[in-house]
Amino acid sequence: MKAFDPVLAPYIVALPLIGALGLLLLGRRLRAVAGLVASATVGVGFVLGVIVLVQMLGVTEKGGHGREAVVRVWEWISAGSFSVNVDLLVDPLSMVMVLVVTGVGTLIHVYSIGYMHDDPRYSRFFGYMNLFVASMLLLVLADNLLLLYVGWEGVGLCSYLLIGFWFERRAAAGAAKKAFIVNRVGDFSFLIGIFVLSVTVSSLTVSSINEAAGGMTAGIATTAALLLFGGATGKSAQIPLYVWLPDAMEGPTPVSALIHAATMVTAGVYMVARFSPVFEASGGLALGVVAWIGALTALWAALMAAAEYDIKRVLAYSTISQLGYMFLALGVRAYSIAIFHLVTHAFFKALMFLGAGSIMHSLDGEVDMRNMSGLRKVMPITAFTFMTGWLAISGIIPFSGFFSKDAILASAWHQGRYALWAIGAGTALLTAFYMSRLYFRIFEGDLKVPEGVHVHESPPSMVGALIPLGVLSVVGGVINLPGLLTLDHFLEPVVGESEVPSGFTPWILGAIALLAGIAGIAFARTLYLLPGGATRRAALCERFKTPVDAARNKFWVDEIYGRGIVLPGKAFASFCANVIDARLVDGAVNGGGRVVAGAGWLFRRAQSGYVRSYALTFLFGVVVIFSLLVFRVAL
Amino acid sequence: MSIDPSYYLALAGLMFAIGVVGTLTRRNAIVIFMFIELMLNAVNLIFVTFARMWGNVDGQVLVFFVLVVAAAEAVVGLAIILVIARRRETSNVDDISMLKW
């Protein structure tokens, strides 16, 4: 049987990279075709990904590493026995990620052609988008931590460039800076984690780290795992580093879709799944931290989402919350389930962001849900596709989100983590509530739009991207339908099989998850859809004034960070600038200059310009040397 | 018969001393120049004396070098003095003290 040899894999990364270089260097000349070129590079990458997947599925070897291959692109660093190469690891896990990134990425690119059409920096936008996709592909395909880190930082850079794409707006520039700096905190932890692993294992490849993980002491493994997870909290927006993601909504909407669905935030989930043996080796502590951070983030973000009025920010908090679910799944050893939820979430979240973009496009950039309603009548395609996303995230059977979310809750239950299960189930109710609130307020009821806006359905390139995502949101669940196609089984050689309960329990758990979703929707319906909802809302807000206020103010987390971290940081920076740098460093430099100048002032007295005094000095010197010679004084 | 070398050395020492004193005390550039030549010639005389004393021509060869250098120096030096005299209408070295920091 022919061995698995994915020679096409490097081109999947290279194509968007070439597209990015071309668009950024020759941008203005390529303006007319920039969107098509960018979409084509990612789209062809998707086709190549499918070809590699078909090759991979052709290898029927079970249980072994038959479906895994490392493609050497070139040797990068080689020092003695330590070497780091540009190697791409092609295995089931990386292929799932490649297909999500390129597949969803292509649709977002196509959508952007319509959305960004009038922007003066049209081709630069597509250059950045291509670079973003290329970095993410490098991240998921990297065979060693250093190469992964290159992609990791590339993703961070592109998020900065794209969030601040409309940098003329102060808020956008600030949000870009915030995203970059908050991510740096996580990246720092991640980098230290890489150092710990490289010192312990003395190799950075995925296979050697994961093989060595079994032999690590619990202390080392816990340290490494928690440091890596620190990086993941930054990139994947978990407590305590989630604060950048809501602000990242200042970027163009397709960027939000790309960040939330295909690239960037999924990096942390992927990384933890990829290095799951290291997390396993810590003896439960690291995984416990991952699970609890995930569960708490899911709940925390859902609370804020329920109090937010900005459409895009609701979606941002919802992303944070859903990422929390993924980490919850990782923490209860259901790695393939986490990837499953990542995939379905990519479908419905990309869909809803693009839907939100479609609304903004139609309403001249209006994002406050209080200023609109009843849009279903004028934007039927957007409304219908958005509805599939809403039902998917609310966990309604048979939409994709039901299967993945139910699987996460079932795994938590199966591991005996009932507290985590309860938080997850409660969050499922909240999720259904805030998404229904969003949907009902925007699309149902009487038509209401801001003054002077001509509402219209979005152009074909935009709704054209919504429809396939809508279909995927509906049927995406089948990729892990028990007994049919199993993602779980496909990923097993990489991350091990996720244990799910058997017998009667999963049916009960599924029913509870479904009921939670339905209850959330029903509750939202009484508040936002049925007559008299407004008075009920007001009564409820009055009764729970303190918690509602807290959620509306995002629990003052930004303010706490501002007082507790940013202000002391600024004070320390100004101390360094005004005292250490201005006094100490500059003092040493200026002092050195003054000493030399003083010496010069002293010695230039000797340079009188009178030739005869020089001659006399000569003579004096000659006499001295001569007498030394004559009197044989040894110098 | 030959004259004792010490006479030559004494004469040369006297010439050199006159040259040093003249160089240090006079202000006219051309006169200073002449005293420098005097010192050079005193050294030449010492070279020749020792060469004869040891029956060795090395000293005499060196004298030729000194003569050539002195001639070259005279050409350049006199040219400089002449130009300065034309531009500043002086050959007093104490008036020409501008070439410093």
Q: How confident is the model over A565-606, as pLDDT tens digits? A: 889 999 999 999 999 988 899 999 999 999 999 999 988 888
Residue A42 has a pLDDT of 92
Helix (H, G, I), strand (E, B) or coil at A72: strand
The predicted complex's ipTM stands at: 0.81
Please state the rounded mean pLDDT for residues A429-445: 91
Instruction: Give the C-alpha separation, A325 to A345, whole Å.
Output: 10
Burial class (CB in 10 A: 0-12, 13-18, 19+), A269: buried
Q: Which of A610, A616, A619 sits opposite B97 (nearest CB)?
A: A610
Strand partners for A74: A86
Residue with tokens 């009921």: A515
Quick check: A609 and B100 CB within 8 A? yes
Q: Which of A604, A607, A612 sits opposite B93 (nearest CB)?
A: A612
Quick check: A609 and B97 CB within 8 A? yes
Residue A15 amino acid letter: L
Please state the rounded mean pLDDT for residues A453-476: 86
Which residue, A346, A379, A385, is CA-closest to A465? A385
Instruction: Compute the count of residue pairs across chains A and B with CB atoms less than 8 Å apart.
Output: 29
Strand partners for A71: A88
pLDDT bin (cut points 50, 70, 90) of residue A64 is low
Q: Is the pLDDT of residue A9 over 70?
A: yes
pLDDT bin (cut points 50, 70, 90) of residue A151 is very high
Min mean pLDDT across A209-218, A378-387, A606-615, B78-87 is at A606-615
pLDDT bin (cut points 50, 70, 90) of residue A485 is low
Residue A565 has a pLDDT of 87
Q: Does B66 touch chain A (CB under 8 A)?
A: no
Q: Does B18 touch chain A (CB under 8 A)?
A: no
Quick check: A612 and B24 CB within 8 A? yes
Chain A interface test: which of B16, B93, B95 (most A C-beta within 10 Å): B93
pLDDT bin (cut points 50, 70, 90) of residue A300 is very high
Instruction: Give the C-alpha separation, A574 to A160, whole Å.
Output: 25
Residue A1 has a pLDDT of 44
Please state the rounded mean pLDDT for residues A317-326: 93
Reported for A561-565, long-range contacts at CB under 8 A and 24+ positions apart, including other chains, are: A561/A243
- In angstroms and rounded to an integer, the radius of gyration of the C-alpha atoms of chain B is 17
Residues of B in contact with A609 (CB under 8 A): 96-100
Residue with tokens 């010069």: A600
Mark out chain A residues that contact chain B at CB-CB < 8 A.
604, 607-612, 615-616, 619
Q: Is the pLDDT of residue B2 over 80?
A: no
Q: Is the pLDDT of residue A346 over 60?
A: yes
Please state the rounded mean pLDDT for residues A206-212: 88
Instruction: Give the C-alpha separation, A188 to A206, whole Å.
Output: 20
Quick check: B96 and A619 CB within 8 A? no
Helix (H, G, I), strand (E, B) or coil at A563: helix
Q: Which secondary-structure segment (H or E) carries A291?
A: helix A285-306
Please state the rounded mean pLDDT for residues A190-212: 89
Quick check: B101 and A607 CB within 8 A? yes
Nearest residue on chain B to A616, alpha-carbon basis? B24
Reported for B74-78, long-range contacts at CB under 8 A and 24+ positions apart, including other chains, are: B74/B33, B74/B37, B77/B33, B78/B30, B78/B33
The minimum CA-CA distance between A29 and chain B, rounded to whole Å, is: 59
Domains of chain B by range and CATH? 5-88 (1.10.287.3510)
The minimum CA-CA distance between B27 and chain A, rounded to whole Å, is: 8
Q: Is the pLDDT of residue B92 over 90?
A: no
Quick check: A615 and B23 CB within 8 A? yes
Preceding omega of A506 cis (within 30 degrees of 0): no
Residue A65 has a pLDDT of 59
- Quickly list H helices, A142-265: 145-163, 170-201, 206-213, 218-235, 244-247, 253-257
Instruction: Give the C-alpha separation, A227 to A38, whole Å.
Output: 35
Quick check: A604 and B101 CB within 8 A? yes
Residue B67 has a pLDDT of 93
Q: Is the pLDDT of residue A529 over 60?
A: yes
pLDDT bin (cut points 50, 70, 90) of residue B68 is very high
Residues of B in contact with A612 (CB under 8 A): 23-24, 27, 32, 93-94
Q: Does B93 touch chain A (CB under 8 A)?
A: yes
Quick count: other Cβ atoms within 10 Å of Cβ A211?
13
Residue A483 has a pLDDT of 57
Give a three-class secondary structure readout of A482-494: CCCCEHHHHHHHH
Q: Which of A607, A611, A619 sits opposite B20 (nearest CB)?
A: A619
Quick check: B96 and A611 CB within 8 A? yes
Please state the rounded mean pLDDT for residues A468-494: 78
What six digits make up the tokens of A544? 């729970």
Q: Is the pLDDT of residue A539 over 80?
A: yes
Which residue, A348, A156, A116, is CA-closest to A241? A156
First to last CA, chain A: 88
Residues of A in contact with B96 (CB under 8 A): 609, 611
Quick count: other Cβ atoms within 10 Å of Cβ A67?
22
Residues of A in contact with B24 (CB under 8 A): 612, 615-616, 619
Q: In angstroms, what CA-CA distances link A323 with A25, A154, A296, A330, A346?
A: 36, 21, 11, 11, 11
Instruction: Give the C-alpha separation, A490 to A67, whole Å.
Output: 10
Residues A150 and A90 sit within 8 Å (Cβ to Cβ): no
The minimum CA-CA distance between B32 and chain A, rounded to whole Å, is: 9
Residue A329 has a pLDDT of 92
Q: What percent of chain B has pLDDT over 90?
A: 57
A239-295 residue pLDDT tens: 889 999 988 888 899 998 888 877 889 999 999 999 999 998 887 889 999 999 999
Instruction: Give the C-alpha separation, A131 to A17, whole Å.
Output: 6
Chain B interface test: which of A610, A611, A613, A616 (most B C-beta within 10 Å): A611
Residues of A in contact with B16 (CB under 8 A): none
Instruction: Give the C-alpha separation, A117 to B100, whole Å.
Output: 70
Which residue, A521, A317, A355, A349, is CA-closest to A437? A521
What six digits make up the tokens of A101? 């990134």
Instruction: Give the C-alpha separation, A362 to A378, whole Å.
Output: 10
Q: Which secondary-structure segment (H or E) carries A69?
A: strand A69-79
Quick check: A608 and B100 CB within 8 A? yes
- Please provide the average confidence, as pLDDT, over all residues in chain A: 87
Q: Does B20 touch chain A (CB under 8 A)?
A: yes
Nearest residue on chain A to B100, alpha-carbon basis? A609
Q: Is the pLDDT of residue A231 over 90?
A: yes
Quick check: B93 and A610 CB within 8 A? yes
B4: left (phi over 0), alpha (psi -120 to 50) or beta: beta
Min mean pLDDT across A309-318, A458-467, A565-574, A589-598 is at A458-467
Q: Which chain B residues in 29-48 lie under 8 Å from chain A, judged by CB atoms?
A: 32
